[in-house]
Structure 1
Amino acid sequence: MELDKDKPPRAYGSQQAPPHYEPGEGCLTTAVRIPVRIVVLVVVVPLRLVWDVLVVSGRALDRVVLRPLGRSLAWLGRVLLVIPLVWLYGTVFTPLVRYGLVVPVVWLYGAVLTPLVRYGLVVPVVWLYGAVLTPLVRYGLVAPVVWLYRSGLIPVGRLLGRLLGRLYETLLTPLGHALGWLLEWLVRTLLVWPWVALWRYVVVPVVYYGLMVPAVWLTRVLLVIPVGWVCRVILVPLGREIGAAFGVAWRVAGHISRAVGRALAWLTWNLLGRPLRWTYRSVCTPVGHWLRDSVWAPARNIAAVAGRAAGDALRSARATVRQARRDAWRALVGAPRAPEPGEPLVDRARTLGSTTIVPGAEPAPEISLHKRG
């Protein structure tokens, strides 16, 4: 099997690399490629087969078991839980909460609590605040404090402010400027400049040229260059080949898995599906047609004829019983009176002074439409 079909063909010539490896690849890559792909193919094929079997089984399980089970559970939960709870909420819980809690609480709030709070707490507090507390605070505390502030504290404060301002402008401002300049010069001369010079001309050169440059050079020579060479020459080609091998092996395993699946499907169809189809077409279908045409259709016709005959007999028996009952009633109470001229022919069903319905009876009317002569 050729595993490098996806790579473009290379022409042989003096300016191109030999055909057994691509330009830029080493001998190690070419030597490792085929064994790695063979080993990876041997490892990946069972995994791909197991993966395809699990995928097909999961889809079948979802289509045959999980979806019908979910629909059944949803319907069962709706019938046994949601509908009874909705009915219970709308029929029992809502009226119970409304007439057992909301209506009494609203009535209690509007009829008892609101007047009690308004006339028992708010009105006395407002009256006490307006009639007692406000004049007491205004004339007993606020007025004396305002008078004392305006008459005593404001003039004294203004006088002290002017005195302190004159003293600050005359003595403290020049002395403060002189002391500040002297202190700044001493700090800069004795502390800042020596440390800056020491840091700039001694510490920085020693640390940079004595520690950092040798450390960087040693790290580059002993670590970066060897690790880069190993990664570039060994790890990167090996990783690239292993990744490519896994991709090729996964595709090849997919072809193998599809071939195995087609073979199993062909065997299942020829060993089970084809005999079942032949049995259904050759045996079950003719037997079903014969039962439908020879047994079920005559039995259905006979049952329909018998049903119609039974219905006719039942209706005839009802009519006979009704006629016999009318004849018996006529024999007991006499023939019905012929209606007078101008009286509507109405089959009255109620007797005079009674609400009992008597079939076939025609008693005297309660109110005659025409006076008798």
Structure 2
Amino acid sequence: MDLEKSQAAGPAREESDVRPDRRGEPAPVVRGDARGGEGCLVTAIRLPVRIVALVVVLPVRMAWDALVVAGRFLNDVLFRPVGRALLWLGRALFVWPFVGLWRYVLVPLGKGFAWLGHVLLVVPAVWFHRYVLTPLGHAVEWLYARVLTPIGHGVLWVLRGLGAVGAVGLGVWTVVSWLVRYLVVVPAVWLYTWVLTPVGHAVAWCAGGVAWLVGTLVTGIGTALYWIVRILLVLPALAVRRWVLAPIGRFLAVVGREIVDALGHAWRIAGHISLAVGRFLATLLRWVFVEPVRWMYRSVLTPIGHVVREAVLRPVAEAARGVGRATRQALAAARESVRQARADFRRMLFGEPGKAQITHRREPPGRERRTLGSSKTALTKD
């Protein structure tokens, strides 16, 4: 299919090789494919590789989609509630006890230990520094300034007096140093300058000649080994890399690129196929199970339920309500009969109860209103 597209697009490319730009001059057009001059070999490799990749990847993609759907279902139904329960249990068993231990045990203990350390260590240390070490330091400073310094000046004056006595010892030291210089130092310098130095120069010159000779030999041997290794190893390796490994690498790169592209293309096509199969299975499940069950519920069970409700349940409910109403009326009549019997029995034993005496009130009875001529008002009462 790609080969037919490239052949169909060939004449259009040839006709559009030279296109005038806005100024009327022909503008160059880049020939070839955008992927670097792909030919029939690449197309011949691409088609079977994509077919094989589709055949291999399709079961994997369908299994992957099925696992994804199952994983989402298990995550929503099982894993997420179990995870939340385990999280709450972990908090209840580990986090909350440690938080309570930290907040209500360790923090108060730490504050108590800090206060105790401040009282037992910091306060005594500050007191000791302020009232012991500071006065002691002032006393030592006063002793150095007022006692030791004058004593040192006195001892220095005494030593200066004794310096005059040491002048004789200085003369003796001068004579001894002159003898040592002309009997030991001067001969040693002469021996070093006129004997040891020429001998050292000669030895150094001989060592330099030997080093130059050895360096020349090593350089020649190294150069020979370099050219031998270059001719026998490096140049053949470069030739093998340039004329063997590089073409094989380019071919393998093209094959690998085509395999990767084919896998990606097959993965996408397998995704579409898997989606179509999933929709087909969902539709089949719907028409095989869901729609019959829905039709059964709507067309059979719902009318039957309505008939049962109208013919059986509603009359039974009305009868139950009537029975309940009659039962309540019977219970009320029984309670009234018992109340009347109890009242009759009480009257038979104790007689009729006394009537309450009517007391005249200052307030007018009933709805009669107060007037100024009435003797029952608050102003004209007896």
TM-score (norm 2): 0.50
Cα distance, 1:244 vs. partner?
1.5
Match of 1:34 among 40, 47, 54: 47
Residue matched to 1:48: 61
**Does the 8 A contact of 1:40 with 1:249 survive in 2?**
yes
1:274 aligns with 2:287: no
Cα distance, 1:53 vs. partner?
1.5
Q: Distance in 2 between matches of 1:33 and 1:302?
A: 83
Residue matched to 1:143: 142
Cα distance, 1:280 vs. partner?
2.0
Q: In the superposition, relative to structure 1, how do residues 310 and 279 fare at CA in structure 2: closer, same or farther (>3 Å)?
A: same
Q: In the superposition, relative to structure 1, how do residues 333 and 66 fare at CA in structure 2: closer, same or farther (>3 Å)?
A: farther
Q: Distance in 1 between matches of 2:241 and 2:152?
A: 82
- Percent of pairs with identical residues: 38
Cα distance, 1:242 vs. partner?
0.7
**Does the 8 A contact of 1:48 with 1:250 survive in 2?**
yes
**Does the 8 A contact of 1:21 with 1:30 survive in 2?**
no
SS of 1:256 mapped into structure 2:
helix
Gaps in structure 1 of 5+ consecutive residues: 87-92, 161-189, 345-373
Q: Distance in 1 between matches of 2:344 and 2:6?
A: 112
Residue matched to 1:11: 9
Q: Which has the higher Rg, Structure 1 or Structure 2?
A: 2
Match of 2:357 among 319, 331, 339: 339
Taking the TM superposition and a 5 Å limit, the aligned residue runs for 1:1-373 are 10-13=8-11, 24-66=37-79, 73=85, 130=131, 139=139, 141-148=140-147, 150-151=149-150, 221-223=239-241, 227-232=245-250, 234-330=251-347, 331-332=349-350, 334-342=352-360
Q: Tell me which of the two structures has the higher relative contact order, counting C-alpha pairs closer than 8 angstroms and 6 or more residues apart.
A: 2
SS of 2:249 mapped into structure 1:
helix
Cα distance, 1:320 vs. partner?
3.7
Q: Distance in 2 between matches of 1:66 and 1:151?
A: 92
Residue matched to 1:347: none
Cα distance, 1:315 vs. partner?
3.3
**Does the 8 A contact of 1:37 with 1:249 survive in 2?**
yes
**Does the 8 A contact of 1:21 with 1:27 survive in 2?**
no
RMSD over aligned Cα, in angstroms? 5.5
Q: In the superposition, relative to structure 1, how do residues 147 and 334 fare at CA in structure 2: closer, same or farther (>3 Å)?
A: farther
Q: Distance in 2 between matches of 1:15 and 1:137?
A: 103
CA displacement 1:34-61 (0-9 Å, x = unmatched) = 2211211111111111112212222333
Residue 335 of structure 1 aligns to which amino acid in structure 2?
P
**Does the 8 A contact of 1:36 with 1:242 survive in 2?**
yes
Cα distance, 1:261 vs. partner?
2.5
CA displacement 1:324-352 (0-9 Å, x = unmatched) = 444444442750441340489xxxxxxxx
Residue matched to 1:365: none
Residue 247 of structure 1 aligns to which amino acid in structure 2?
G
**Does the 8 A contact of 1:41 with 1:253 survive in 2?**
yes
Residue 359 of structure 2 aligns to which amino acid in structure 1?
P
Q: Distance in 1 between matches of 2:65 and 2:80?
A: 21
Residue 357 of structure 2 aligns to which amino acid in structure 1?
P
**Does the 8 A contact of 1:20 with 1:30 survive in 2?**
no
Q: Distance in 2 between matches of 1:303 and 1:255?
A: 62
Query: How many equivalent pairs are there?
Result: 266
Q: In the superposition, relative to structure 1, how do residues 343 and 151 fare at CA in structure 2: closer, same or farther (>3 Å)?
A: farther
TM-score (norm 1): 0.51
Gaps in structure 2 of 5+ consecutive residues: 15-31, 161-203, 363-382
Residue 291 of structure 2 aligns to which amino acid in structure 1?
R
